[in-house]
Structure 1
Amino acid sequence: MLKRLLAPFLTVIALTGVAFTAPAQAQVGADLAATPDGLVKAVVSDVMNTVKSDKDMQAGNIGKITQLVEQKILPHANFEKTTQIAMGRNWSKASPEQQKIITDQFKTLLIRTYAGAIAQIRDQAVQYRPYRGTADDTDATIRTQVINKGEPIQMDYRLEKTPEGWKVYDINVLGAWLTEAYKGSFNTIVTQQGIDGVIKTLQDRNKQLANAK
């Protein structure tokens, strides 16, 4: 079930690491990360430059790609909030220990999915729509279009402002938010198998992905 949910996102999520149509491409710095659109653009550029300069990643070296994700993407993501939204009303049914396990397993699943997708990066481009937020905003949506072989694909990001800076907590592909896509699946599993069923489903899927390397 989780594999089926990931399918629509897999190819397009790979494109979050591609070049964007802005004049400057720089490492993520405090000046760029100070705004939500600046953070997204900087991370996209940084990831793309790294992949394009590394033949192992282009050849699909999952170990190196996973390291890239952990170093350049994870610091700018809030997986706990992502997991909480995806679990919906079932989040409060889980104990603190179960919440931690679910968050860790869900994060591992998305990392492995992202790692496999990054290997598909080639010559796509990302167009950024104007962001008109204010300095007082604590939540932002950055809207983009991924141009893949001339075809535009909607790709949006939701971020929240935290004491550590802006963090991405949701992604919208072709009109479907990642957290919403998982919410129904998690709810069904909880109804049928309880909170432990979600943990087992995530653990089993991660084992499958690990063994598939």
Structure 2
Amino acid sequence: MAPLWPSWALAQAVAPEGPEALIQRVGQQVFDTVKNDPALRNGDLTRIMALVDTVLMPHVNFERMTASAVGRFWRQATPEQRQRLQQEFKALLVRTYSGALTQIRDQTLVIRPLRAAPDATEVVVRSEIRGRGDPIALDYRLEKTPQGWKVYDLNVMGVWLVETYRTQFAQEINARGIDGLIAALAERNRTNAQRS
């Protein structure tokens, strides 16, 4: 009796997904979802948050992203403060970058060749969003975890997200402490929500 699955298909099914394949798959899923959902294209934040939570967040080490943005102060934060920082930072990022989702029409995500050692545990996947106008460079820093590759930083047109926020967060923490940063993020999120 012939096997149900050819051996090459079985090998692919159990082989872990590479970082560039992950970015291509998830990026394509986001693009397809936005293109087919008028509410997303119109900036419906409830729908955008649902997309972020279901499609993107399973592939992000958001604790590491937030810890890196908070910097050395993360070690001083209580578990409750860490949770609030992640919550407010996520809301800020979703509101800040949700406008980019509403612009997706006929663009495609093109992954550039990966330059990393086969046994690397941290890599940068470089990509471009191509469509109307000049391509937009979009790069991802990923780490290999027991659950697969996870994104922990993002570079949009030459600016790394974590580094940008680390400077802002450090200024706020130095002036008002960790609770001050949480309060500032919460206030910024409230203000942004009122403008929507």
TM-score (norm 2): 0.85
Matched, 1:185 2:185: no
The match for 2:143 is 160
Select the structure of larger CA radius of gyration.
Answer: 2
Deviation, 1:59, is 2.5
The match for 1:80 is 63
Structure 1 ranges of 4+ moved more than 4 A: 29-33
The match for 2:5 is none
Deviation, 1:44, is 0.6
Q: Which runs of 5+ in 2 are unaligned?
A: 1-11
Deviations 1:61-114 (A, max 9, x none): 222222111111111111110111111122122222212211121112212333
The match for 1:118 is 101
- 3-state SS of the aligned residue for 1:126? strand
Q: Is the 8 A contact 1:112 1:209 kept in 2?
A: yes
Deviation, 1:33, is 6.4
CA distance in 2, matches of 1:199, 1:30: 43
**Structure with more relative contact order (C-alpha pairs < 8 Å, separation 6 or more):** 1
The match for 1:46 is 29
Q: Which runs of 5+ in 1 are unaligned?
A: 1-28
Deviation, 1:199, is 0.4
* Range that drifts further, 126-135 or 85-94: 126-135
The match for 2:178 is 195
TM-score (norm 1): 0.79
- 3-state SS of the aligned residue for 1:99? helix
How many pairs are equivalent? 185
Identity of aligned residues (%): 44
Q: CA RMSD in A?
A: 2.1
Q: Is the 8 A contact 2:173 2:180 kept in 1?
A: yes
